[in-house]
Amino acid sequence: MRIYPDLKEDDPILQLFHKGVKGQWSSSEFDWEIPFHLDESEANAFARVLTPVYLGEQTAMLGASTILPHFVQAHETSAQLYITTFMLDEARHFEMLTKVYRLLGRKPLELRDLREMFRYHYRLLKSKNRLDWLFGILISDLFAKNFYGAFRKTFPDTLFGKLSTRIILDEARHQAFAEHYIGALRDEMPHEVRDRLLEMRDDLLFIMHAMLKKLQDDASIVGIDGYGILQELTHDIEKKVHIMGLDKEERELSLRAEEEEEHRLLREIEAKNTSS
């Protein structure tokens, strides 16, 4: 731990921390008397569809608390500051969704009813490496963004539609943090680390597909296209992967460049040996 860290005002992560501080809000700011406009069948379906997102908010909150010491060990003070706003964001989302369930008079699904949720969050928290965790959280944030975005479009004037609009702003900051942090390390990132992150992407998407398959009927009842969300999520992930320089094409170009440099050095050595 650094007693007196060097915090640079032009540090993008520190700037995200300032945005996180300024962007704080509370569920108490909303009018909880606004109707949900859901009948009994829709309310039951909505409670089930919301479950993976609800568990995701709680898992992100708990995961951030476990990953914070890793930023401390790496002496990354601006990341430590930012992650505290991240934790508060996730705590707020979790508290707010708990309030939504209470208002609906419904409960989320149990893990035994949707085992894919357990598999997903086990995979997400499997590694304690901060890069792995950030990449997994980025995928979860993109899923949350698409879920909240779909509900905002379908029910813009409902309470949950208005809540979704505010949550999406928080998720955008989280994505920016993960994208900047991982992207800044791409030039020094070993290829096996890139492969590990892409393997996590494939694992999480596979589990999400199985989870949405089980929830598709409920999603249809509330007017949400689960497979449409998954397609949009896949597109968003691939876009982020490319931006961060983690995609297979980037990796192959990098490997080819390394091989060419190695061959060049070998030729120089052979030329020197021949001349001597």
Q: What's the whole-number mean pLDDT along residues 138-159? A: 91
- Residue 6 domain-assigned (yes or no): no
**pLDDT at residue number 202:** 93
- Residue 2 domain-assigned (yes or no): no
Please answer whether residues 160 and 36 qualify as being in contact, where contact means their C-beta atoms are separated by less than 8 angstroms.
yes
Q: Which of 24, 26, 38 is nearest to 155 (CA)?
A: 38
pLDDT digits (tens, 9 = 90+) for 59-94: 899 889 889 999 999 999 999 999 999 999 999 999
- Residue 33 domain-assigned (yes or no): no
Calpha distance 142→94 (Å, rounded): 17
Domain that holds residue 263: 249-276
> What percentage of the chain has pLDDT greater than the value 90?
59
**pLDDT at residue number 244:** 86
Number of domains in the chain: 2
Calpha distance 107→94 (Å, rounded): 14
Q: Rounded to two decimals, what is the model's pTM?
A: 0.85
Q: Are residues 21 and 52 in the same domain?
A: yes
- Residue 177 domain-assigned (yes or no): yes
Q: Are residues 253 and 172 in the same domain?
A: no
Q: Are residues 237 and 273 in the same domain?
A: no
Q: Are residues 134 and 265 in the same domain?
A: no
Q: Which of 22, 49, 29, 56 is nearest to 124 (CA)?
A: 56
Q: What's the whole-number mean pLDDT along residues 141-150? A: 93
Q: Are residues 52 and 153 in the same domain?
A: yes
Q: Are residues 236 and 105 in the same domain?
A: yes
